[in-house]
Amino acid sequence: MKRKLLGTVLSVAMVASMLVGCGGGSAAPANDAADAPKEEAAATEAAATEAAADTAKEEKAETPAAAGGAGGKVGVAMPTKDLQRWNQDGLNMEAQLKEAGYDVDLQYASNDIATQVSQIENMISSGAQVLVVASIDGDSLGTVLAQAKEANIPVIAYDRLIMNSDAVSYYATFDNYMVGTKQGEYIKEKLDLDNAAGPFNLEIFTGDPGDNNARFFYGGAIDVLKPYIDEGKLVVKSGQVDFDNVATANWATEAAQSRMDAIISANYADGTKLDAVLCSNDSTALGVTNSLEANYTGEWPIITGQDCDVANVKNMIADKQSMSIFKDTRDLAAKTVEMVDAIMKGSEAPVNDTETYDNGTGVIPSYLCEPVFADKSNYKELLIDSGYYTEEDLK
Residue 70 is predicted with a pLDDT of 57
pLDDT classification of 15: cutoffs 50, 70, 90: very low
Together in a domain, 131 and 77 = yes
Segment 258-296, tens digit of pLDDT: 999 999 999 999 999 999 999 999 999 999 999 999 999
Q: What is the mean pLDDT of residues 11-31?
A: 34
Segment 147-176, tens digit of pLDDT: 999 999 999 999 999 999 999 999 999 999
Segment 24-36, tens digit of pLDDT: 333 333 333 334 4
Residue 2 is predicted with a pLDDT of 36
Q: For residue 48, how many other CB atoms are within 10 A of its CB?
A: 16
For every residue of 28-40, DSSP letters joined together read --HHHHHHHHHHH
Q: Answer yes or no: are the C-beta atoms of 374 and 308 closer than 8 Å.
A: yes
Average pLDDT of the chain? 86
Segment 313-369, tens digit of pLDDT: 999 999 999 999 999 989 999 999 999 999 999 999 999 999 999 999 999 999 999
Residue 25 is predicted with a pLDDT of 32
Residue 102: phi, psi to the nearest 5? Answer: -100, 150
pLDDT classification of 65: cutoffs 50, 70, 90: very low
Residue 85 is predicted with a pLDDT of 86
Confidence (pTM): 0.76
- Give the domain range for residue 275: 177-327
Together in a domain, 193 and 92 = no
Together in a domain, 230 and 309 = yes
Residue 39 is predicted with a pLDDT of 44
Asked whether residue 29 is domain-assigned, the answer is yes
For every residue of 166-186, DSSP letters joined together read TTEEEEEEE-HHHHHHHHHHH
Asked whether residue 151 is domain-assigned, the answer is yes
Residue 368 is predicted with a pLDDT of 96
Together in a domain, 195 and 135 = no
Tell me the C-alpha distance between 371 and 225, whole Å. 19
Tell me the C-alpha distance between 282 and 303, whole Å. 10
Asked whether residue 379 is domain-assigned, the answer is no
Together in a domain, 220 and 118 = no
Q: How many domains is the chain built from?
A: 3
Segment 34-56, tens digit of pLDDT: 344 444 444 444 444 444 444 33
Asked whether residue 375 is domain-assigned, the answer is no
Cα-based angle 261, 267, 273 (whole degrees, multiple of 5): 100
Count helices and strands (H / E) in the chain: 13, 12
SS3 145: helix
Together in a domain, 260 and 315 = yes
